[in-house]
Chains A and B, each alone.
Chain A
């Protein structure tokens, strides 16, 4: 389900050893000891605030992992350990959660995320070509990770992409280089094509 790819044979079965990372001679990791686990104060406060919102603290797992990923760049073993310590859960439990979701990364990732939608509506309008162009444009830049993504819920601006959460479209292949440039400059990305400024197309929806 996530970016974590299990190696598979052509027919779909998992390649033996795909799960060999676990060292079975060691005991499974237990809930980290809060006396010896160092957790950055902001992260601890954020996770505790999230836990306080729910009747059961475990509900804060995804928000907590989001926070840890923001701080560490990815859900690294260290990040997982810190979340586990504050939430009083085992690291294994949190890894099982993190690997389920596309936006949580259990492998190191570049700082900037470009999610290019290649689902049906976008691909009808050239998303696959744009994806290739985006991959090529980002090839030299270690800070930009390009991923093809499922429908991002913005097929009205197809083909589109989410750049660090900012939705932009409709995209043409030339926009790929511009996105990289805007990311390097650190300002808004492709401002003229941002979804947030798009007005309703429904002629009946104009103001009262």
Chain B
């Protein structure tokens, strides 16, 4: 039933050290890869059809083929910023098996003809960063990094870079600016990083889990790897599951299994007597699903068909003891806090959404506010340099759509509580100032 590739024996004591990793066959895939031509290694990655595990789900091999050929400075950046709410899989991988990631980086850089690499890890992951730093030093020492790796013509430097706390630095171009020592503001795309990225050079950016899978693809052979999962979502995926479940944590699954099997089978579902009210299938940026969607297969395309996304592979379960208003409020506050402020629709839209949700809670809203709020979400989507704003607009929009009745009840109840009573008495906004928001029409 379950297939374990990344997590196989992950708790083995000392696996974070080179000696144990090698004893378990570590760095054999690198030897295999270096004995092949660069084109053949890239061919394997293309055949495996592995899709990015960081959020967008773009095929890794294809991304490498976009890099221009030739003798210029090219870079590989591993995205270890992991700040998408609900996601914590990269943390466990880096902490327990850092050499797997390093091996993946060396193989990927070989396939892409890259000579310099970086790992951008979020500043909060202090312990994991220390472990990685020690592992990188070991890998240099053993000749897996540095000049002419294992006697081949491939050389690679690897630098660990610690961030300082900003969700937007997980967005690939915000990350690049941050790595260049600037504020982490996203860039206009195109040009895409594969053409013009770090220090203006062609840059391959991949997530920790994506890169950690590379050695296994080489070890197993791409064709065999592609047998796992579904036709268009190959391989296994680490799923971080949290919220109202009995056994939260990271699980490795073959893509395409029913979501119910993860939420109930592996994580034990909500506490006894409770049921799933809504769940985010791919981090808090994914449009929500309800208890009616539990049988959707967990893979990129099935979730897209269900109107949401697999994202970073983080499931957040909310049971029926929570108010959907609070969930929406937490979401909106997060994105408002993390918006870098560069694009107006995101900067203003996230803040206005927070205000409008506060208005509901204060008993000052009418059901019409929901329409206004929904239209604000529509105005954000597709109108910014990056999709941070969309990442709020999509889930909040989906909550308004799917839980409208409940939100209307909150609106009524809050008005009742505030003693405002019937609709005619709603204070036109702007008058009472502090909660200024869109004007209800009388």
| Chain B residues whose CB sits within 8 angstroms of the CB of A208 once the complex forms | 8-9, 12, 24
A143-184 interface with B by 8 A CB criterion:
150-158, 162, 165-167
| Chain A residues whose CB sits within 8 angstroms of the CB of B433 once the complex forms | 10
Whole-angstrom CA separation of A58 from B4 in the bound complex: 42
- A26 close to B (CB within 8 Å): no
Q: Which of B8, B240, B242, B434 contacts A10 (CB 8 A)?
A: B434
Q: Is the CB of B85 within 8 A of A119?
A: yes
Q: Is the CB of A166 within 8 A of B127?
A: yes
Q: Is the CB of B178 within 8 A of A58?
A: no
Interface-lining segment among A17-25, A33-41, A59-67, A130-138: A59-67
| Chain B residues whose CB sits within 8 angstroms of the CB of A66 once the complex forms | 123, 162, 164
Q: Is the CB of A205 within 8 A of B437?
A: no
A102-129 interface with B by 8 A CB criterion:
102-104, 115, 118-121, 123-125
For residue A154, give the distance in angstroms from its CB to the closest CB of chain B: 6
Q: Is the CB of B9 within 8 A of A100?
A: no
Among residues of A, the one whose C-beta sits closest to the C-beta of B122 is A153
Among residues of A, the one whose C-beta sits closest to the C-beta of B347 is A12
- B348 close to A (CB within 8 Å): yes
Q: Is the CB of B436 within 8 A of A10?
A: yes
- A97 close to B (CB within 8 Å): yes
Whole-angstrom CA separation of A197 from B334 in the bound complex: 29
| Chain A residues whose CB sits within 8 angstroms of the CB of B92 once the complex forms | 200
| Chain B residues whose CB sits within 8 angstroms of the CB of A203 once the complex forms | 2
How many chain-B residues does the 8 Å CB contact rule pick out? Answer: 80
| Chain B residues whose CB sits within 8 angstroms of the CB of A157 once the complex forms | 248
Q: Which of A53, A199, A205 contacts B8 (CB 8 A)?
A: A205
A59-114 interface with B by 8 A CB criterion:
59-63, 65-66, 96-97, 100-104
Q: Is the CB of B181 within 8 A of A196?
A: no
- A202 close to B (CB within 8 Å): yes
Q: Is the CB of B355 within 8 A of A11?
A: yes
For residue B8, give the distance in angstroms from its CB to the closest CB of chain A: 7
Q: Is the CB of A167 within 8 A of B164?
A: no
- A206 close to B (CB within 8 Å): yes
Task: Take A101-B165, A119-B330 as given contacts and tell me if A153 and B88 are in contact as well, using a CB distance cutoff of 8 Å.
Answer: yes
Whole-angstrom CA separation of A23 from B307 in the bound complex: 53
Task: Take A103-B165, A156-B249, A165-B126 as given contacts and tell me if A204 and B2 are in contact as well, using a CB distance cutoff of 8 Å.
Answer: yes
Q: Which of B91, B338, B348 contacts A153 (CB 8 A)?
A: B91
Q: Which of A58, A155, A165 contacts B240 (CB 8 A)?
A: A155
Q: Is the CB of B73 within 8 A of A55?
A: yes
B232-281 interface with A by 8 A CB criterion:
240, 242-244, 247-252, 266
- A185 close to B (CB within 8 Å): no
| Chain B residues whose CB sits within 8 angstroms of the CB of A119 once the complex forms | 85, 284, 330, 334
Which of B116, B123, B181, B183 lies at the interface centre, i.e. has the most chain A CB atoms within 10 A of its CB?
Answer: B181
Whole-angstrom CA separation of A195 from B91 in the bound complex: 11
- B300 close to A (CB within 8 Å): no
- B163 close to A (CB within 8 Å): yes
Q: Is the CB of A1 within 8 A of B163?
A: no
Whole-angstrom CA separation of A165 from B322 in the bound complex: 30
- B376 close to A (CB within 8 Å): no
- A192 close to B (CB within 8 Å): no
Whole-angstrom CA separation of A70 from B49 in the bound complex: 44
Whole-angstrom CA separation of A126 from B164 in the bound complex: 26
Task: Take A55-B73, A97-B181 as given contacts and tell me if A154 and B91 are in contact as well, using a CB distance cutoff of 8 Å.
Answer: yes
Which of A10, A63, A66, A150 lies at the interface centre, i.e. has the most chain B CB atoms within 10 A of its CB?
Answer: A150
Q: How many A-B residue pairs have CB under 8 A?
A: 201
Q: Is the CB of B243 within 8 A of A124?
A: yes
Q: Is the CB of B164 within 8 A of A103?
A: yes
B177-203, CB under 8 A of A: which get 1 and which 0?
011111110000000000000010000
| Chain B residues whose CB sits within 8 angstroms of the CB of A27 once the complex forms | none
Whole-angstrom CA separation of A166 from B322 in the bound complex: 30
Whole-angstrom CA separation of A151 from B249 in the bound complex: 15
Q: Is the CB of B240 within 8 A of A12?
A: no
- B86 close to A (CB within 8 Å): yes
| Chain B residues whose CB sits within 8 angstroms of the CB of A11 once the complex forms | 355, 436-437
Q: Is the CB of B127 within 8 A of A196?
A: yes
Q: Which of A101, A118, A200 contacts B123 (CB 8 A)?
A: A101
- A29 close to B (CB within 8 Å): no
Q: Is the CB of A150 within 8 A of B181?
A: no
For residue B97, give the distance in angstroms from its CB to the closest CB of chain A: 11
Whole-angstrom CA separation of A55 from B338 in the bound complex: 29
- B369 close to A (CB within 8 Å): no
Q: Is the CB of B183 within 8 A of A156?
A: no
Among residues of B, the one whose C-beta sits closest to the C-beta of A164 is B126
Q: Which of A100, A115, A202 contacts B252 (CB 8 A)?
A: A202
| Chain A residues whose CB sits within 8 angstroms of the CB of B179 once the complex forms | 59
- B400 close to A (CB within 8 Å): no
Whole-angstrom CA separation of A53 from B160 in the bound complex: 9
Which of A1, A121, A200, A207 lies at the interface centre, i.e. has the most chain B CB atoms within 10 A of its CB?
Answer: A121
Q: Is the CB of A150 within 8 A of B248?
A: no
Q: Which of B122, B165, B181, B248 contacts A59 (CB 8 A)?
A: B181
Q: Is the CB of A62 within 8 A of B10?
A: no
Task: Take A56-B180, A120-B316 as given contacts and tell me if A165 and B127 are in contact as well, using a CB distance cutoff of 8 Å.
Answer: yes
Task: Take A58-B181, A102-B166 as given contacts and tell me if A202 and B85 are in contact as well, using a CB distance cutoff of 8 Å.
Answer: no
- Residue positions of A touching B, CB distance < 8 A: 1-2, 9-12, 53-56, 58-63, 65-66, 96-97, 100-104, 115, 118-121, 123-125, 150-158, 162, 165-167, 195-196, 199-208
- List the 6 closest pairs (A to B, CB-CB), nearest first: A102-B165, A201-B249, A155-B242, A101-B164, A61-B181, A165-B126
